[in-house]
Amino acid sequence: MSNINNTLCIANGQGADVSLLQKDSLQLDVSGLNSVLDYNAEMERYRSFANFYKTNGAFPQTAKIARITTPIFPSARIGVSPWNCDNAMLWGRKSAAINPNRTSMHRNESQRPGKPGVPPETLQMANNNFLTTLSPEHCRPLAAECMDKLKCGSAEAEIMNLPERVGTFSAIPALGGISLPPGVIVMTALHSPAASAAVTDSAFQIANLADCPQNNSSASSGNPAKKKRKRCGVCAPCRRLINCGVCSSCRNRKTGHQICKFRKCEELKKKAGTSLERTAANGGEAFRWFF
């Protein structure tokens, strides 16, 4: 796979090259429409990702390797995402350096309701939801869609999955905001509860993977202490960010100590020792390549 961007466009049956669309936008020289055209072009690109993953069975357990060519969003080069979200927000740092006019918000400051430093306009989507770092002002299209989906028909928990957003494309523009040179490979694990943090953490984990003694500890050390398995991070329940609030686990959280039934990892549902988690690198942590 030399260039996943091309692959994605081909898979989608369209040559949606953002750079070309940008040139078209410039030729039109309708400055007022440029942002809209860019937005639409990038939306098309998002959809191409969605189609790719849909047609390829969501996120495979096996690692995908792709080369980093250019930031996914051209606008990301200047620190603006199509959602009008500062990528820095997703990466858990303040964005003042990029755009001092923006309302900056630290991830840790907005994680828990009721704690100081949480602006009143902060979206409190759910506990541990990385979307909490995004205020409506910054992320209106995304926030509106999320809120709409939350409002309507939550009886069917699947509606909360937000497959086009959760842990997938919302994370990709975050990578678009950093200037990685061509050829650099970034591998991430996406724990849905802290996807933004996991993106950064795991990107560095891969660098130390070979040296990490934990990678072989469970299999070769003969440690009698049974380690808690970690969620795979890629199955549909793992990608869900929001507790349903109505299942027995949610209702019984105080005493049950169990994750929402709709967020329970498919791998963890299986009996220990029967699934991929034994063979996966990184201690069973599912991983994903970004480009």
To DNA, the closest distance from the beta carbon of 209 in angstroms equals 14
**By C-beta, is 11 or 194 nearer to DNA?**
194
The label of the residue with tokens 């937000």 reads 162
**By C-beta, is 16 or 235 nearer to DNA?**
235
- Exposed/middle/buried for residue 39 (C-beta within 10 Å: 0-12, 13-18, 19+): middle
Task: Give helix 31-55 / helix 4-11 axis angle, nearest 10°.
Answer: 80
To DNA, the closest distance from the beta carbon of 158 in angstroms equals 17
- CA 149/CA 241 separation, integer angstroms: 13
To DNA, the closest distance from the beta carbon of 10 in angstroms equals 37
All residues at 6 or more sequence positions from 25 whose CB lies less than 8 Å from its CB, including other chains: 33, 34, 37, 38, 41
**By C-beta, is 23 or 227 nearer to DNA?**
227
Summarize as ranges the residues that interact with DNA (CB under 7 A): 108, 127-128, 193-194, 197, 201, 225-231, 243, 248-249, 252, 255-260, 263-265, 268, 272
Closest CA to 183 of 69, 288, 63, 290: 69
To DNA, the closest distance from the beta carbon of 226 in angstroms equals 5
Side chain identity at residue 167, one-letter code: G
**By C-beta, is 32 or 228 nearer to DNA?**
228
To DNA, the closest distance from the beta carbon of 243 in angstroms equals 7
**By C-beta, is 86 or 277 nearer to DNA?**
277
- CA 184/CA 199 separation, integer angstroms: 15
CA–chain centroid gap for 89, Å, is 12
